[in-house]
Amino acid sequence: MRLPFQHEQAALAEQSHRFLRRYNRSVHTRLSGYLEIGRRCQFQYPWPVVAMLGICQVLTGIGKNRLYGLLGPTARRLGVRLLEQMVENTEDVLRRTNRGIFADSLPTVMLALRVHELRERGEHALADVLLDGPLPLLMDRESHGLARSLAGGLAIHNGAQRFATLSELTLEHFAREQAIFTYHMGSPGTREPALVKRMSSVRAVPAPVVVRTVLGGRRLVFKPFAMPAGFDMRDHETRVREFGRAYVNSVTRDLDDYRCAAQFIAARFGKPGERLTIAFADR
């Protein structure tokens, strides 16, 4: 199996490279990339939808950050350079995090999708060696575990169980993304200015919520999601837990809520008039 394995791994590396070159250029091209990943897995894995809803919050954060930025030159003329520096640093962190998450996640998902495709075609031996063989360059054990779990989750025959399993896996994937965010933010300084602490303290974040309409339908809106008292954005464990509730659990409580969320991102970022059909039928 050495030659087939080498061929498959080289092909995956090339495909991932092409995908990243095409889509990992800006926040907006990454949105198109996430949507394409969703289409490729027929939206069985909620992770691309959750990622895009998170980017909606990133765009909101960048917009607010730029409003603060309008005050920067005035503050600098008054001898206060800190605000201008913080605004620039915040946007830099958000963009680096967004770019890093996409680059980290795409090869993992591509590997899982290929393993699932091979198994569906009956090529189980090749699929197994692709998962069990030497890891691709720059893929660590945690990413490998995510790929293995995703390939296994996609193969679950019971539709309800498949949705529940892949929703839980989205939470694990989300936690890895938050570790990337934590890395780019860096550790708090021992003697940091009060303004830095204040801007890192967040009372609420805009989060997706699926609400019922008057006619009994569902629609997705963004509402403030309250954070615990004294929350600091750099508190990794609390952020993973609370953001997971805000961005993952909020749209995966049941399948219809998830369908609503997926259609929201397709309508906002997809092709004109794109309608998604998301089925979790038993196989």
For the entire predicted model, the pTM comes to 0.87
Among the ranges given (130-134, 170-174, 176-180), the one the predictor scored with the smallest mean pLDDT: 130-134
Return the structure tokens found at 117: 């495709």
**pLDDT tens digits for range 151-167:** 999 999 999 999 999 99
Within 10 Å of residue 167's Cβ, how many Cβ atoms?
Answer: 22
The answer to whether 111 and 130 have CB atoms below 8 angstroms apart is: yes
Give me the percent of the chain exceeding a pLDDT of 90: 70
Q: Rounded to an integer, what distance in angstroms lies between the CA atom of residue 159 and that of residue 162?
A: 5
Q: Work out the average pLDDT over 132-155.
A: 93
Q: Is the dihedral of CA 57, 61, 62, 66 positive or negative?
A: positive
In this prediction, residue 198 has a pLDDT band, given cuts at 50, 70 and 90, of: low
Which residues, other chains included, contact 127 with Cβ-Cβ below 8 Å and sequence gap of 6+? 115, 116, 118, 119, 151
pLDDT in tens, 13-53: 999 999 999 999 999 999 999 999 999 999 999 999 999 99
pLDDT category of residue 83 using cuts at 50, 70 and 90: low
Q: Given pLDDT bands bounded at 50, 70 and 90, which one contains residue 65? A: very low
Contacts for 70 with CB less than 8 Å, ≥ 6 apart:
none
Strand partners for 224: 206
With residue 211 as reference, give the H or E element that holds it: strand 204-212
CA distance 186 to 188: 7
Give the torsion sign (CA, 166, 121, 139, 92): negative
More confident residue, 187 or 244: 244
